[in-house]
């Protein structure tokens, strides 16, 4: 099967059902006659912007299209534990495994103060042009996550 066809099939499978692991996804592909290595599957998932979330593999809304302010704010509320300015960087902490999902939302809905993002497992670094921009972005993110929502009592870790 050609790469574009395989990637469309992966998108369809993930949109139709919850799949919790790459192993399970490989099994589902094999059930429809598509054999793929783990390395190829990892590259396909990365190329499609698909990330592992606590609920399983997640397709980005609109497959990379800008998500809009509501989706961005929902992602901040769901994933952000804290945001702190450090010189011209903003350091963001999430629960383990959540940084990738939140970083994708930053990349899909770039903030005015942002230059770029780097995400690990539970930490995101956002580069900004200045320390003032970093302070403004960190403050706005904390406001969105903890004060602009009905769930303002959520624990900060």
Task: Output the CA torsion 130→132→134→138 (10° steps).
Answer: -170
pTM of the model: 0.59
The C-alpha atoms of residue 91 and residue 135 are separated, in whole angstroms, by 11
Where do runs of H (alpha helix) occur along 54-147? 69-79, 99-108, 131-142
> In this structure, is the dihedral angle defined by the CA atoms of residues 108, 109, 115 and 121, taken in order, positive or negative?
negative
Most confidently modeled of 44-53, 62-71, 90-99, 132-141? 132-141
Fold held by 3-59: Arc Repressor Mutant, subunit A (1.10.10)
Do domains 3-59 and 69-147 share one topology? The answer is: no
Q: pLDDT tens, 68-105?
A: 677 788 889 989 999 999 999 999 999 988 888 888 88
So what's the architecture of 69-147 in CATH? 2-Layer Sandwich (3.30)
Domain parsing of the chain, residue ranges = 3-59, 69-147
The C-alpha atoms of residue 31 and residue 111 are separated, in whole angstroms, by 42
Higher pLDDT, 71 or 55: 71
Q: pLDDT tens, 8-48?
A: 999 888 888 888 889 999 999 999 999 999 999 988 888 88
């Amino acid at each position: 099967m050609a790469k574009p066809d395989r990637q469309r099939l992966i998108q369809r499978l993930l949109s139709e059902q919850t799949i919790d692991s790459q192993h399970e996804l490989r099994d589902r592909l094999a059930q429809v006659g598509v054999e793929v290595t783990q390395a190829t599957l990892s590259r396909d998932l990365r190329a499609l912007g698909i990330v592992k979330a606590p609920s399983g593999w997640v397709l980005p809304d609109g497959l990379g299209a800008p998500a809009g302010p509501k989706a961005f704010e929902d992602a901040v509320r769901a994933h952000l534990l804290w945001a702190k300015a450090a010189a011209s960087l903003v350091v963001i902490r999430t629960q383990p495994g959540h940084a990738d999902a939140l970083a994708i939302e930053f990349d899909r809905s770039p903030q005015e103060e942002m230059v770029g993002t780097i995400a690990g497992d539970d930490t995101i670094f956002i580069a900004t042009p200045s320390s003032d921009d970093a302070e403004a972005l960190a403050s706005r993110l904390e406001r969105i996550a903890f004060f602009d929502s009905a769930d303002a009592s959520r624990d900060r870790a």
